[in-house]
A = this chain, B = another copy of it.
Amino acid sequence: MRIESVDLFYLAMPHITDEVDGSQDTLLVRVRAGRWEGWGECEAAPLPCIAAYCCPSSHGVCKPVKTAVEGAVLDTPEDIRRINAEVRRLGLDLLQTDHTLSGIDVALWDLLARAREVPVYQLLGDRVAYPKLPYASMLLGNTPEETFEKARAICVDGFRAAKFGWGPLGKGTVDEDVAHVRAAREGLGKEGILLIDAGVVWGDDPAPAIARAQRLREFRLTWLEEPFRSESLDAYRTLTDLHPELPLAAGEGANNFALARDLVRRGGVRYLQIDAGRIGGITTAHQARLLAESEGITYVNHTFTSNLALSASLQPYVGVERFRLAEYPTEPKPLARDLTVEKIVPDANGLISVPDAPGLGLVPNLDIVRQYLVPVRIVAGGRLLYKTPEV
């Protein structure tokens, strides 16, 4: 079959806050081929992604994403991999390319797996989907007391693992940061798996992270996440070398395989966190999972948004039993919370699994899509380049 249409839907909450909460909007992608339909999401700024999809060509390797997608043959996983590589080749000089590609690639896997009537992970070559231990993914409270209450509440909800991040962390003194981490540990209890997300607060500078590393030891973090920007490999390496006892996690900012690989090989990252909606789709996420296996480090999804995005980011690694943890968004905005009818929820053992159904196993609720739709219209040089399609 051939790809007949790619439709991009910009969805957003009516009011966007300054929280670092990616669930406030999304770019939903629908692909149609043959009599099939697949869905995906870009975990990215919707409007620049739309522009990268439909813009006029600038030159031979600065072409819009659509060039290698529309009309392409889609019969096998190899076709998806070929489309993925061709989009990247033709979009070499178009920076936004990888983010736009991500949602499309996810939708292609969903579509092809539906056509084959298998879950995506089976199309990727895995036979079994292992349940994962979900960690509740939350922003830090504004005060240690708030953080403590959030941690307590999450325990009551049955979670055995939780991540706290962003907010005040790294913006005040070392003592203030330690107070937040202590509050999180006390709220979570001794046995809970505690993860701290520094939200790239130290940019490219290892010094503030080094100043805190020793103090964090007593709280037994499973990982410290993103002390630095993804491209700051030297800073990761410096911190790893000085504090090998503090495992680092990163990867959500990786928009290609090479950056994920360098975070592991050169930065010394031990938990590789991949968002299929950003790294280039399920194709590239699966490459990163194979890397994590061969390097002996741990792969984990990055997901802060909908259950559709959660399924897309779980599929590439559910087949590996030893990758036990999964990020599980617990505070998504109504848009992300309600986007799918079906939900991925913890079972009686507190574990989550991908749906036992073809493709990603869940689809968007079209009423919700219509409710949050932001209609977009782009005209350049008198040509209508993009108009939000019918839902």
Contacts and interface: CB of A to CB of B under 8 A. Distances in A.
Interface of A: 10, 12, 16-22, 24-25, 44-48, 50-52, 54-62, 64, 89, 92-96, 98-99, 166, 199-200, 203-204, 229, 231-234, 253, 255-256, 258-259, 261-262, 265-266, 374-382, 385
Contacts of A98: 95
Contacts of A54: 47
A377 B379 contact: yes
A374 B381 contact: yes
B45 A93 contact: yes
B258 A59 contact: no
Contacts of A19: 59-60
Contact of A56 (B47, B95, B266, B380): B47
Contacts of A24: 58-59
Contacts of A266: 233, 262, 266
Contacts of A377: 377-380
A10 to B, nearest CB: 7
A234 B264 CA distance: 12
A99 to B, nearest CB: 5
For A62, A89, A262, the residue with the greatest tally of chain B CB atoms inside 10 Å of its CB is A62
B60 A45 contact: no
Given A47-B55, A51-B48, A55-B45, A204 B93 contact: no
Nearest to A61: B20
A93 B60 contact: no
Contacts of A382: 375
Nearest to A256: B231
A89 B203 CA distance: 9
A90 B206 CA distance: 20
A103 B253 CA distance: 24
Contacts of A18: 57, 59-60
A45 B204 CA distance: 28
Contact of A380 (B10, B62, B256): B10
A44 B52 CA distance: 11
Q: Which 7 A-B pairs have the closest CB atoms?
A: A47-B55, A51-B51, A231-B258, A20-B60, A96-B96, A48-B51, A374-B381
A47 B92 contact: no
Given A20-B59, A22-B59, A253 B92 contact: yes
Interface centre among A47, A94, A200, A385, by most B CB within 10 Å?
Answer: A47
B93 A96 contact: no
A115 B166 CA distance: 40
Contacts of A265: 234
A274 to B, nearest CB: 15
A94 B43 CA distance: 10
Given A22-B93, A377-B378, A58 B16 contact: yes
Contacts of A261: 234
A56 B16 contact: yes
A377 B375 CA distance: 14
Nearest to A387: B379
Residue from the set A95, A98, A200 with the largest chain B CB neighbour count within 10 Å: A95
Contact of A58 (B46, B232, B234): B46
A318 to B, nearest CB: 25
Contacts of A262: 231, 233-234, 262, 266
25 contacts: A16-B59, A17-B59, A18-B59, A19-B59, A22-B62, A22-B93, A25-B56, A44-B62, A45-B55, A45-B64, A47-B378, A47-B385, A48-B51, A48-B55, A48-B94, A51-B51, A89-B203, A95-B99, A96-B96, A231-B256, A233-B262, A234-B265, A262-B266, A266-B266, A375-B382
